[in-house]
């Protein structure tokens, strides 16, 4: 049995203060798990299933969480760096003071989640589902690719998008999602395309 599975079994889903390196739990059904003060380095949890997972004060580096089923989860004071979360199902989750850096989150499902002091830096969010997010504080998006991402009913007021690629971003016909957001002059052609107008 892997160290991670053993820790989950021994703690009845409650795992604290552990370091996991190179664990491979692809496709495993982990049930309800709560991780506190844990470090994950190069672990593979692709297509794993978790019920209301909790990551509190955790660090994930170079991990593969692609297509993971982890909706209605809780992330607080955690960091994910250079991780793969392609197609991860995290909808209706709560994320507080959590940072994603250099992560591939294309096609990630975060719809209907609550975010407070969350940042995405140099992340791939292409075609991500970011609709109906409840932002309790300003969301930080820096150097991210938001190509064709869905932001229906997510108000990005006060969010600086100048360093992001917003080509083909999808929103409501009223474009209210971008009201009071900051965009750069070089991004106007992308927005003009959405509005159906031509720039001269």
Residue 195 has a pLDDT of 61
Residue 158 has a pLDDT of 94
Residue 1 has a pLDDT of 64
Across the chain, which has 200 residues, the per-10-residue mean pLDDT values are 88 94 96 97 97 98 98 98 98 98 99 98 99 94 98 96 95 91 87 60
- Domain spans in the chain, listed from the N-terminal domain onward: 3-195
| CATH topology for the 3-195 domain | Pectate Lyase C-like (2.160.20)
In order of 127, 128, 158, 172, the CA distances from 151 in angstroms are 10, 9, 15, 8
Residue 196 has a pLDDT of 57
pTM for the complete prediction?
0.93
Residue 197 has a pLDDT of 47
């Amino acid at each position: 049995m892997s160290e991670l599975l053993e820790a989950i079994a021994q703690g009845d889903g409650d795992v604290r203060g552990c370091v996991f390196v190179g664990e491979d739990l692809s496709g495993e059904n982990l049930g309800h798990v709560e991780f506190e003060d844990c470090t994950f380095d190069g672990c593979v949890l692709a297509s794993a299933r978790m019920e209301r997972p909790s990551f509190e004060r955790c660090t994930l580096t170079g991990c593969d969480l692609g297509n993971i089923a982890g909706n209605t989860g809780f992330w607080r004071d955690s960091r994910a760096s250079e991780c793969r979360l392609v197609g991860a199902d995290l909808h209706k989750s709560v994320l507080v003071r959590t940072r994603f850096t250099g992560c591939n989150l294309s096609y990630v499902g975060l719809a209907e989640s609550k975010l407070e002091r969350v940042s995405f830096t140099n992340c791939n969010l292409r075609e991500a589902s970011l609709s109906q997010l409840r932002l309790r504080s300003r969301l930080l998006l820096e150097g991210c690719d938001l190509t064709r991402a869905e932001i229906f009913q997510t108000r990005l007021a006060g969010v600086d998008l100048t360093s992001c690629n917003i080509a083909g971003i999808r929103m409501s016909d009223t474009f209210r999602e971008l009201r009071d957001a900051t965009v750069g002059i070089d991004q106007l052609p992308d927005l003009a395309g959405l509005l159906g107008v031509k720039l001269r």
